[in-house]
Chains A and B, each alone.
Chain A
Amino acid sequence: MTTTVDKAAALALGDDALVLAQRLGEWAGHAPVLEEEVALANIALDLLGQARVLLSLAGDEDELAFLREEREFRNLQLVEQANGDFAHTIARQLYFSVYQQLLYGELAAGDGPFAPLAAKAVKETAYHRDHAEQWTLRLGDGTDESRRRVQAGLAALWKFTGEMFRPVEGLDLDAEAMAALEARWLAAVTAVVEKAGLTLPEGPRTGAWTAGAGRQGLHTEPFGRMLAEMQHLHRSHPGASW
């Protein structure tokens, strides 16, 4: 059993969860119906719980969340993308929750330092994935408008999905294992998209825009504004507590 935690890996997985939790939290007060308001907040809360455990493995959770600069974050570019409309958020949820569930499943099956958290979180992400899949089906099989919007969301985020399968520094999953994960992800996403009567986007899933990418601290334009909102209270009132 490996007991030493690689901090780079804890940051990568922790930042994915933290940043997506913040994005989903932005829906509070704006979701189309009350049930979705509650659902998105619950998913955000699960992710925030995972982020707290993971960031605590890498250092002080508050310092890491609130006092790092943009270039020090290691999250995927996918999770930092702005919410867009509800269908756009669902497309992001579909891509990410399928990835996260497969990744946690792999980590839970091993005996590495992330196995205990992964074994717990994989059960939570099963609900996130189900939520995203059910909504993709409803939007794809809904009206012309809902189908147009979810198709646009899937297309816009497609180019950020390749980054998910680059080996993460400090995780016991090599390039081969990540390639196997990618094949399973593609099969699962394709199945949902086709069942929803939608088309899988065409075009490359990585490219110059992901050069270095989020895992190396290179982020897209919306991320800076998101961080400013997330961090300004803590930075304006250092040491404040409830």
Chain B
Amino acid sequence: MVTTSRLEEELAALAGSVPDPELPVLTLAELGVVRGVRMLAPGRAEVDLTPTYTGCPAIEAMSADIERVLHDHGIPEVTVRTVLAPAWSTDDITAEGRRKLSEFGIAPPRPHSAQGPVPVTLSVRCPHCGSTDTELLSRFSSTACKALRRCTSCREPFDHFKEL
């Protein structure tokens, strides 16, 4: 049984409070990418971080930011490990994270139904006017994790954090 010490909990909260480098409205904890923090020895911490997409270029900036925050908290030696399993899913984004995405003008991902694929009938709501009358322009957008949509009511284009 692995137990988490009070220090580890404190460090996990600190690592989780780091803002996402590309979506700074979200913290890494809200994005669901910090998988755990362990003290290996006094003054030596190891952090498990998982990428959203395998090729996500933000992971290096995230690692550097986590190291800096933990150094500032008096941990001289910090290692950030990239872990792939279990694979990250958009379901790992917290409810607060979804709310912030929407407020920032990005439609949040729809939840997966159990293990199956996302039903295509579920509409994506426009983050600007709230209309559910929106259309897909491209499944790929400004970053790997987003799709480009347009609202047919207010005519504004917007990013949608696509389901993964």
Contacts and interface: CB of A to CB of B under 8 A. Distances in A.
A120 B138 contact: no
A45 B143 CA distance: 10
B55 A46 contact: yes
Nearest to A35: B138
B106 to A, nearest CB: 16
A50 B51 CA distance: 12
Interface string B138-164: 111110100010000000000000101
A49 B85 contact: no
A47 interface: yes
A119 B57 contact: no
- Interface secondary structure of B, over-half rule: loop
Interface string B80-119: 0000111111000000000000000000000000000000
A116 B89 CA distance: 13
A43 B164 contact: no
Given A39-B138, A42-B144, A131-B139, A47 B88 contact: no
Contact of B55 (A47, A119, A123): A47
B147 to A, nearest CB: 9
Contacts, number: 68
A50 B140 contact: no
A119 B86 contact: yes
Contact of A43 (B87, B140, B142): B140
Interface string A29-69: 00000011011011101111110110000000000000000
Contacts of A121: 54
Contact of B140 (A52, A119, A131): A131
Given A35-B148, A46-B54, A50-B55, A123 B164 contact: yes
A85 interface: no
A50 B54 CA distance: 6
Nearest to A123: B164
B111 to A, nearest CB: 15
B55 A48 contact: yes
Given A119-B85, A119-B87, A45 B139 contact: no
A119 B88 CA distance: 10
Nearest to B142: A38
B137 interface: yes
Contact of B141 (A38, A116, A117): A38
A3 to B, nearest CB: 13
Given A35-B148, A42-B144, A123-B164, A49 B139 contact: no
Given A45-B57, A45-B144, A46-B55, A39 B139 contact: yes
A130 interface: yes
- Which 3 A-B residue pairs are closest in the complex by CB-CB distance? A49-B55, A49-B54, A116-B85
